[in-house]
Amino acid sequence: MGRTKDDFANWLAPHLPMLHRTARAFAQPADQHDLLQELTLALWKARPRFDDVSVAAAFAYRVAHNAALTWRRGETRRRLRGVAIEAELLMRDAGSDPQGPLLERLYAAIRRLEPVERSLILLSLDGISYAEIARLHGLTETNVGARLTRIRQRVSKLVEGSGDGV
């Protein structure tokens, strides 16, 4: 099973957008690159366990979301690392994307959710079916639907009230 770096890079390429969204939802702007590296490393380590029978996207989601949840637990050490860096990144993002401020408010609201809620909403935003989300989290489809309804309402309220320091 001599997989090379090129094999991994080719396997990883379709999952990079999901990894970026996960990093953005779980980490403050200043920490997103670090989390992205952690997620990539987790996939590198887990890749040998991928049996090529499973759906690659489901495998990548599971590994990335579990790594993000683990990373998030250690975030208290990293909180408030650099307000200046965060402000600079927000300014840069806002300048390059007309929806930048709204998108950042959305991700700021998502970062305020509990880790499982964050994972559920990200999977939903990525277009993953309720059945697959339920399987990934060990829930029923009905439970996923109910939770996502409440999560979406909460995120909407947080985005609308983001002038209050989201």
70-93: b (≥16 Cβ within 10 Å) or e: ebbeebeeeeeeeeeebeebeeeb
* Dist. CA 73–CA 54, nearest whole Å: 28
The pLDDT tens digits along the chain (166 residues) read: 455 667 888 889 999 999 999 999 888 887 889 899 999 999 999 988 887 766 888 889 989 988 888 887 766 554 544 444 555 555 565 555 566 778 888 888 888 999 889 989 888 888 888 888 888 888 898 999 899 999 999 988 888 876 544 4
- Helices marked H in the chain: 5-12, 16-26, 32-46, 56-73, 83-96, 100-111, 115-125, 130-137, 141-160
Upper half-sphere CA count for residue 116 (Cβ side, 13 Å): 9
* Dist. CA 27–CA 72, nearest whole Å: 8
* Dist. CA 17–CA 126, nearest whole Å: 9
